[in-house]
Amino acid sequence: MSNSTVSLASSIFTSLSEGELASILRAYVTSGPDVGSLLDFVNSTRPDLLEPEDPAGYIRYSILVIFAVLTSTTVLAVLIVVFGTHKILRYPLLIFFAALCAVELCLYVLVRQLVRAMEKVFPVFRKSWRSRRHQLRRLTEAKNYEAYKEAARELDKSVSWIQKWKNTNDSVGYSSLCIKSHGEELRCAKSLEHKLALLRQILVTGFAGIGTDEYLFSKSFLGTKKCITDFYESVVDTIDEVTAHLETVTSRKNDSIEKHLFSEFLNDIMLTFGQPALCLSGGGMMALMHFGIVETMIEQGCLPKVICGTSGGSVVASYLCTHTDDELPRIVKPEVVQPKWSPCGDSWWTCIKRFLRTGYMFDPLPWHNLLADLLGGLPKNEQGVGAYLQ
């Protein structure tokens, strides 16, 4: 047997797996003496194994691929240099993101249909989810904070794992032992000096981790862990007791050490917390939700004097800060806000035609008229504003 034959057989057999090689040898042994050599048998049964490779074909194919990539890249670079990225890439990017949104929409519809199918197949899920959907509808349709709070409380009670999470004190986000000990001390404190000393220790930013960890306020629809809620109630009760005691002292119309202690306490707390501010985020027309937040804060008497915002939030902040405190409860009502905020009220067909013709979807003139109507023609310093715009 020549060296070329040996090398050919070696290359064939090393390229096969153990199973393929075993099946070929088994067939060769059982075929009889008339088949000739093993290579003749392989050539008659598996001719594809003896076909010589064509390295020149692979080289030509690789060269064509590299040439096509370089050519398309060069042409795209030249077009971008000549016409700019805006004209060349806007439609491909538009098609890409539109396709991405379409895929996400299809996945969303698929998930919703699967949920509906599970509701029909499993009656337990249907009863549970319908009850939950009714409670969520009450939550989203609440007209004031009291109704929202009641609906959120019922939702928390209906979900077992939320109740379990609230009743579990241990968490990595805060110190439950510190909360419990200080809350117990507040409830047991008798003298005014002791209460003010405890409040001075507690009323700081991020005390025991309960004011800085968003995780503690993102697991339930209302409130947080029970030990934190009890601690807040103890702090509020202590402040109410101190305030009531101060009113009794003030009615005597004489200077006392208690009034001096309370005055120092208030100064310390103001220096610790600083000036509160309301920060409104952007989000396009989602910024209209800020009006509901502001209306609720006005009803609860906790709207701060400093308001800032970005994008759509800055428009809402400007609208709020160019009106007085007496005007705010009226101008944030939905029946007042909704008719004015209609610059995006054009149909989709109108927006698409405007985008193809001008490059933008919304007409800037209604926005100009809206801002002029909302903010007025005078600077904010001349309008007797009720808040500071940052």
Judged against a pLDDT cut of 90, whether residue 159 lies above it is answered with no
277 touches 307 (CB < 8 A): yes
pLDDT at 11: 56
* CA 262/CA 388 separation, integer angstroms: 28
Interacting residues of 246 by C-beta distance below 8 A, sequence separation 6+ = 258, 259, 262
3 state DSSP class of 141: coil
Dihedral through CA 215, CA 217, CA 218, CA 222, nearest 10?
160
Q: What percent of the chain has pLDDT over 70?
A: 73
What is each CA distance from 82 to 33, 72, 75, 257, in whole angstroms? 75, 15, 11, 81
| Residues 264-304: tens digit of each pLDDT | 887 888 887 778 888 888 776 677 888 888 988 888 888 88
Decide which of 169 and 378 is more confident.
169
Question: CA torsion, points 367, 372, 374, 376, in degrees to nearest 10?
Answer: 170
Q: Is the pTM of this model over 0.85?
A: no
What number is the average pLDDT over the span 19-45?
61
Place of tokens 């939702």: 155
Distance CA 58, CA 84 (A): 37
Average pLDDT over the chain, rounded to an integer: 76
**DSSP code of 316?**
H
Is a pLDDT exceeding 80 seen at residue 339?
A: no
- Residues 348-367 as b/e (b if ≥16 CB within 10 A, e otherwise) read eeeeeeeeeeeeeeeeeeee
- Residue 154, φ and ψ in degrees, nearest 5: -65, -35
Question: Is 235's pLDDT higher than 90?
Answer: no
Residue closest to 272 by CA, chosen among 202, 193, 205: 205
* The most confident of 170-174, 222-226, 383-387, by mean pLDDT: 222-226
Decide: 195 and 159 in contact? Cβ < 8 Å: no
Q: How would DSSP label each residue in 168-201?
A: ----TTS-HHHHHHHHHHHHH--SHHHHHHHHHH
213 pLDDT above the threshold of 70: yes
Q: How confident is the model at residue 360 (pLDDT cuts 50, 70, 90)?
A: confident
Q: How confident is the model at residue 98 (pLDDT cuts 50, 70, 90)?
A: very high
**pLDDT band of 103, cuts 50, 70, 90:** very high
Q: What angle do CA 207, 243, 187 make, to 5 degrees?
A: 55
What percent of the chain is predicted at pLDDT more than 90?
A: 4
Q: How far is CA 247 from CA 46, 53, 186, 242, in A?
A: 104, 100, 20, 9
CB 65 within 8 A of CB 57: no
> From the CB of residue 19, how many other CB atoms can be counted at a distance below 10 Å?
8
